């Protein structure tokens, strides 16, 4: 019966994703905490480790009426809600995540960017510049840099891993 229930996102304690997944599965729930391989450098060595693809979140399929059993699992902070309603994750999105994970291709977390977002170039010859993401093309992004006073802009193509989202603009001090 649970396989017909919707998927929900759970907010979990820092670095508890896999423990929460195990605890929920032990309770009989279907849970998903996808990971990716990353290299971490210490002073004396480099090691490959598994890190959560969605840090701080675990997906779980359950009827909302059984949320108490889910929230009682060690490490679970809360069920993610929007406007007081539990946020359901579509079956298609969960299936896509599973297909990517099964493919064994390189995967890593990526900022959620959409056209119109402010971004900053973090790598390459344009490092430090900020602009607006115009559109995402097959293997590149098109970034618009504007000169407000002249009401003119230019567009440049960048590799997707060269930019990061800008969170809140900086204001000049008088």
Contact 30, 117 (CB under 8 A): no
- Does pTM surpass 0.85? no
Write out pLDDT tens, residues 19-69.
999 999 999 999 999 998 888 888 898 999 999 999 999 999 999 999 999
Q: Each residue of 60-103: pLDDT tens digit?
A: 999 999 999 999 999 999 999 988 889 899 998 999 899 888 88
Q: Give residue for tokens 């396989």.
A: 3
Pick the closest to residue 146 from 130, 157, 158, 135 (CA basis).
130
Inform me whether the pLDDT recorded for 1 exceeds 90: no
């Amino acid at each position: 019966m649970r396989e017909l229930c919707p998927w929900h996102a759970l907010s979990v304690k820092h670095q508890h994703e896999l423990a929460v997944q195990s605890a929920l599965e032990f309770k009989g729930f279907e849970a998903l905490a996808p990971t990716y391989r990353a290299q971490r450098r210490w002073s004396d060595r480099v090691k490959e480790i598994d890190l959560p693809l969605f840090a701080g979140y675990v997906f779980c399929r359950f009827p909302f009426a059984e949320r108490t059993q889910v929230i009682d699992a060690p490490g679970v902070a809360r069920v993610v809600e929007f406007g007081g309603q539990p946020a359901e994750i579509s079956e298609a999105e969960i299936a896509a995540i599973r297909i990517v994970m099964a493919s064994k291709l390189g995967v890593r977390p990526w900022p959620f960017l959409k056209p119109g977002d402010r971004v900053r170039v973090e790598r390459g010859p344009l490092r430090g510049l900020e602009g607006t993401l115009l559109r995402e093309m097959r293997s590149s992004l098109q970034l618009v840099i504007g000169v407000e006073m002249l009401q003119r802009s230019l567009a440049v193509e960048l590799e997707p891993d060269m930019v990061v989202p800008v969170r809140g603009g900086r204001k000049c001090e008088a």
